[in-house]
Amino acid sequence: MSKERKRIKIGEFIVEKILFLFAVISILTTAAIVVSLLGESISFFREISIVEFFTSTVWTPLMEPQNFGVIPLLVGTMIIAIGASLVAIPIGLGTSIYLSEYAPKKVRKILKPILEILAGIPSIVYGFFALTYITPLIKELFPSTEVFNAASACIAVGIMIIPMVSSLSEDAMMAVPNSIRNGAYALGSTKLEVATKIVVPGASSGIIASFVLAISRAIGETMIVAIAAGANPQLTFNPLKSIQTMTAFIVNISKGDVSHGSIEFKTLYAVGTTLFVITFLLNILAKSVIKKNVEVA
């Protein structure tokens, strides 16, 4: 074997081991996060009934009498996720269809970078934008709107995740071969029919993935909801009222106002574990849906 060949094999061996090390680090990091969450969560549920945690509708762990029903936080989180999705998914998907099927190359080169600037804006900026601009506009339409409300947070989070939906969806649509488009045009299809009946179904896996990532991002958003939605863990489905999400509660506990090891401190891990499980199940559901779409395609 030549020296050059040996050098190449040694280099490939080193690269392989480095990549394997990176993979192991990722797995160990995930495992460490899970272990740290579960350790304190198990300790929490030894003191607080898991039935009370998931069925009680009152959440006051920092006040007397203490109540540990996480339902208000779950509902608040779902309101933000659903509201943001209603804003981001139609706009993002419509934008991606335009960029992929209608926009000239010059326009696409200008619009896409401008749109992706939204993804680079810090979430705290969106929070102040929601509080100072979106909320006053909502109050003009609905005078009963509270200063801190779910609606303004939903809109701000929705605007923030639009680039995620549009960019990933557009990439998936651009991956659809032009030969399929040309075949549809040859059969007399209009541009709208090609976009909605050929390209979108053909790119459904990537589009669904963008939706799931955007929803997961909305569920895990912290600063916007902490600033715009408030910190009132009340069980309400009215988007004009102040609410509290799981992430916003974690922020409040993380300020250091409660003693380490107390039951109040352990609620941080219980809520964090619940949030982790929700996003984990959401990703599993998304993968199953994507797999089915790939098999059908």
pLDDT band, very low/low/confident/very high, at 294 (cuts 50, 70, 90):
low
Q: What is the pLDDT of residue 175?
A: 85
Residues 6+ apart with CB under 8 A from 241: 146, 149, 150, 232, 234
pLDDT band, very low/low/confident/very high, at 296 (cuts 50, 70, 90):
very low
Q: What is the pLDDT of residue 9?
A: 81
More confident residue, 175 or 81: 81
Dist CA 99 CA 52 (whole Å): 49
Two tokens, residue 66:
């203490």
Two tokens, residue 212:
């799931």
List the beta bridge partners of residue 68.
Answer: 59
Q: Name the residue among 215, 274, 281 with its Cα closest to residue 247.
A: 274
What is the average pLDDT across 145-158? 92
- Count how many Cα atoms sit within 13 Å of the Cα of residue 145 in the half-sphere of its side chain: 22
What is the average pLDDT across 128-144? 91
List the beta bridge partners of residue 60.
Answer: 67
What is the average pLDDT across 209-223? 88
Q: What is the pLDDT of residue 84?
A: 94
Please list, residue by residue across 58-73, b when 16 or more beta carbons sit within 10 angstroms of its beta carbon and e when fewer do: ebebeeeeebbbbbbb
- Count how many Cα atoms sit within 13 Å of the Cα of residue 279 in the half-sphere of its side chain: 19
pLDDT band, very low/low/confident/very high, at 293 (cuts 50, 70, 90):
low
Query: Sign of the C-alpha dihedral, residues 236, 241, 246, 251?
Result: negative
**Model confidence pLDDT, tens digit, residues 21-50:** 999 998 999 888 888 888 888 989 988 889
Distances (CA, A) of 53 to 221, 235, 277, 278: 22, 14, 15, 15
Asked if the peptide bond before residue 65 counts as cis, ω within 30 degrees of 0, the response is yes
What is the average pLDDT across 85-101? 92
pLDDT band, very low/low/confident/very high, at 118 (cuts 50, 70, 90):
confident
**Model confidence pLDDT, tens digit, residues 225-280:** 989 998 888 888 999 999 999 998 988 877 767 777 788 888 989 999 999 988 88
